Structure 1
């Protein structure tokens, strides 16, 4: 291989075992992917901070943070719905996995946040935990206002046919650090804080149900 060919290759890992990646299987869910998108976003954001401004990076960085947040919300909604059903929910809303999947089949952050808020309110949690905290809600609303469809941070042009428009028609100078730092905190809170708390709640609920069944058997 000559130098011209070699310069297009990524550097090879030092150890051959590190060339192998593993994906798929029963352990792969929205939360696992959310963590990966968050890692990619953070690596790129730290690179942008350390190496100086590179205006080709901010939009892809925002997209990766946004997608991590979207996937975390979907995981939280599905988990909350399972917990509601397990608690003996007798309401009118169909919370079967198929119906919940239909509701989360959207890229709209505000719709997902609304679903999560409604489901949290149905759980036996302390009152402050039955809603998304105010600061996170503020950031989710900002994110929705900037990219309601999941296209704005992904493409230069959004929409279809005669409705196609530039995603960013006016050039702007923005304090990107402040924007991305807030999203960074939100993404970590959702993927590490909210999901851990709800995961522990579900584990406790399952354990409690099993103990009750054993006591009555």
Structure 2
């Protein structure tokens, strides 16, 4: 049984995005849609898909060097949003089945911590995810390669700004096997995403009033 979402903030009235409304579609062939009420995992999927589409344009030509930083930025943001989504899910699960009276696990408290304490930093997000994962006392350990991949991303861009703005990275020149890099980031992000499915599979048969 999936753990239900808890509201994080009161809904606010908002206006449609004029940038999109100014370009109305006149045919299904040209249509693209932005859906409301998307969650962090929806955004993570969008950034992940975009990064993979960008990677598919790689041909091994010098001009392909221009896609490296946008590719890394898309993947880094996908990892960040996926981490935040899984943290919220694990905290809800931990609160429901392990520590119902722990105030640190309240939805709004978790949301504030993610936004104001961790921000865009991957290592603190990973640390919190592992805290919740380990507190659930599951049968399997968290995948070590996911941890190492996130650690490498954090090392390369600890603030979330290094892939975004010039002169934030080291004054060095590197090269890499791009298809191998793309494969690593894709596989480990998918592994991170299925963490929620793994945990849900363990708890789905637990009755609502079950207490450890």
Q: Normalising to structure 2: TM-score of the pair?
A: 0.75
Relative to structure 1, the CA distance from residue 25 to residue 201 in structure 2 (aligned partners, 3 Å threshold; closer, same or farther) is farther
Q: Which residue of 2 aligns with 1:25?
A: 36
Q: Which residue of 1 aligns with 2:6?
A: none
Unaligned 5+ runs, structure 2: 1-25
**Partners of 1:153 and 1:24 in 2: how far apart?**
27
**Partners of 2:69 and 2:27 in 1: how far apart?**
34
Q: Which residue of 1 aligns with 2:21?
A: none
Asked if the contact 1:136/1:186 (under 8 Å) is kept, the reply is yes
Asked if the contact 1:65/1:183 (under 8 Å) is kept, the reply is yes
Q: Is 1:188 matched up with 2:187?
A: no
Which structure is higher in helix share? 1
Asked if the contact 1:156/1:168 (under 8 Å) is kept, the reply is no
Q: Normalising to structure 1: TM-score of the pair?
A: 0.74
**Partners of 1:70 and 1:186 in 2: how far apart?**
13
Answer with 1 or 2: which has the greater Rg. Answer: 1
**Partners of 1:75 and 1:172 in 2: how far apart?**
32
**Partners of 2:95 and 2:102 in 1: how far apart?**
12
Unaligned 5+ runs, structure 1: 1-14, 159-166, 213-217
Q: Is 1:84 matched up with 2:84?
A: no
Q: Which residue of 1 aligns with 2:82?
A: 72
Q: What pairs with 1:110-129 in structure 2 (closer than 5 Å)?
A: 110-126=123-139, 128-129=140-141
**Partners of 1:83 and 1:177 in 2: how far apart?**
36
Relative to structure 1, the CA distance from residue 110 to residue 47 in structure 2 (aligned partners, 3 Å threshold; closer, same or farther) is same
Q: What pairs with 1:137-152 in structure 2 (closer than 5 Å)?
A: 137-152=147-162
> Which deviations, in whole Å up to 9, do the C-alpha atoms of 1:38-86 show, x marking residues without a partner?
00000111111x4644111011101111111111110100000111111
Count of aligned residue pairs for this structure pair: 181
Q: Is 1:16 matched up with 2:15?
A: no
- Asked which structure has the greater RCO (Cα within 8 Å, sep 6+), the reply is 2
> Which deviations, in whole Å up to 9, do the C-alpha atoms of 1:12-42 show, x marking residues without a partner?
xxx912433333434x101111111000000
Asked if the contact 1:139/1:186 (under 8 Å) is kept, the reply is yes
Q: Is 1:135 matched up with 2:145?
A: yes
Using the TM superposition, give the Cα deviation of residue 201 of structure 1 relative to its aligned residue in structure 2, in angstroms.
4.6
What is the root-mean-square deviation of aligned Cα atoms in Å? Answer: 2.3
